[in-house]
């Protein structure tokens, strides 16, 4: 039934498009050459699937909390312009039992076997399997389902690119969840990178930028930044409530940097 098939694919596409769009609400700021490299690698994987050379390719985007994994995965997926694009998020499965979660995942993959070119984004895959380091706990049924589905060759002529994101790469190893390729997403690391983002935000003048960065350096007693682009953008938003934006931003960032180090102790 061709008409129904179309109906099935279209809304999927639409819904997903919007969802993916929201993942990059903060845009993609090219604050370092790494960002370009990541997007280029993403394009190459897209080509490998589009050309049919590799009919099933799974890629893991891994990096620290807030480093931009979801935004970048969404960007790569949208830029592929594959007719089938689907985002699978933990929140979509809240309140489902294990069986329902597995059916939700199965449906995502089955849908992805219907269109001539397909991309699935599995966001925060460690949460999709309900990973908690205390215990540790996880859903072994959902994990088994993902392993099975990620290993299952799609029908001929229906190549599938899987983009998964995680901030728990070593957990993937422990759970023996294997990907064919990997992309590392780094934190904002240098003062230059931070300055780049501040400038792009349009919230600071050059003087404010250099003052804030100076303040951060003296408070943290270090030139290393080491926080995700997402935390930087939140810091800017918080600073914008304050008449002294640069000062407030430096304050908030210094706290975030300290916290990032502290919590990793």
Ligand X SMILES: Nc1ncnc2c1ncn2[C@@H]1O[C@H](COP(=O)(O)OP(=O)(O)OP(=O)(O)O)[C@@H](O)[C@H]1O
- Residues in contact with a copy of itself by CB under 8 A are 22, 25, 44, 47-48, 51, 53-54, 65, 89-95, 97, 99, 102-103, 106, 127, 130, 132-138, 140-141, 143-145, 147-149, 151-153, 173-176, 178, 180-182, 234, 237-238, 240-242, 259, 263
Residue nearest to Mg ion (CB): 70
Question: What is the nearest approach in angstroms of a copy of itself to the Cβ of residue 213?
Answer: 22
Cα–Cα distance for residue pair 19/10, rounded to 1 Å: 14
Both tokens of residue 157?
């002529």
Compute CA distances 185 → 36, 120, 122, 163, 247, whole Å.
11, 19, 16, 13, 29
- Give the number of residues in contact with ligand X, rule: CB under 6 A: 23
Assess 70 for contact with Mg ion (CB under 5 A).
Answer: yes
130 touches, from Mg ion, a copy of itself, ligand X, none (C-beta below 5 to 8 Å by class): a copy of itself
- Give the number of residues in contact with Mg ion, rule: CB under 5 A: 2
Cα–Cα distance for residue pair 57/45, rounded to 1 Å: 8
Secondary structure of residue 58 in the 3-state scheme? strand
Cα–Cα distance for residue pair 204/248, rounded to 1 Å: 12
Binding test (CB under 6 A) with ligand X, winner from 175, 230, 235, 249: 230
Helix axes 191-201, 229-239, angle to 10 degrees: 50
Both tokens of residue 180?
């064919």
202 touches, from a copy of itself, Mg ion, ligand X, none (C-beta below 5 to 8 Å by class): none
Cα–Cα distance for residue pair 33/67, rounded to 1 Å: 15
Interface ranges with ligand X (CB under 6 A): 24-29, 31, 35, 65-72, 124, 165, 167, 228-230, 233
């Amino acid at each position: 039934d061709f008409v129904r098939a179309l109906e099935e694919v279209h809304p999927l596409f639409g819904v997903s498009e919007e969802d993916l769009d929201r993942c990059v609400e903060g845009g993609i700021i090219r604050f370092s050459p790494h960002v370009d490299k990541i997007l280029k690698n993403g394009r190459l994987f897209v080509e490998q699937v589009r050309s049919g050379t590799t009919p099933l390719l799974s890629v893991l985007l891994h990096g620290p909390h807030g480093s931009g994994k979801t935004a970048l995965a969404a960007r790569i997926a949208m830029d592929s312009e594959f007719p089938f694009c689907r985002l699978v998020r933990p929140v979509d499965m809240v309140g489902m039992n294990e069986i329902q979660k597995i059916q939700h995942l199965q449906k995502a993959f089955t849908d992805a076997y219907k269109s001539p070119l397909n991309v699935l984004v599995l966001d925060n895959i460690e949460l999709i399997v309900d990973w908690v380091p205390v215990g540790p706990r996880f859903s072994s049924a959902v994990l088994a389902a993902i392993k099975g589905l990620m290993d299952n060759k799609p029908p001929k002529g229906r190549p599938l690119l899987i983009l998964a994101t995680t901030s728990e790469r070593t957990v993937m190893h422990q759970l023996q969840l294997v990907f064919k390729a990997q992309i590392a997403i780094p934190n904002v690391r240098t003062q230059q990178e931070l300055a780049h983002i501040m400038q792009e935000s349009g919230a600071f003048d050059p003087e404010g930028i250099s003052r804030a960065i100076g303040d951060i350096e003296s408070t943290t007693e270090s030139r290393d930044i080491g926080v995700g682009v997402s935390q930087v953008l939140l810091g800017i938003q918080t600073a914008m409530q304050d008449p002294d934006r640069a000062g407030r931003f430096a304050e908030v960032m210094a706290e975030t940097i300290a916290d990032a180090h502290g919590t990793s102790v």
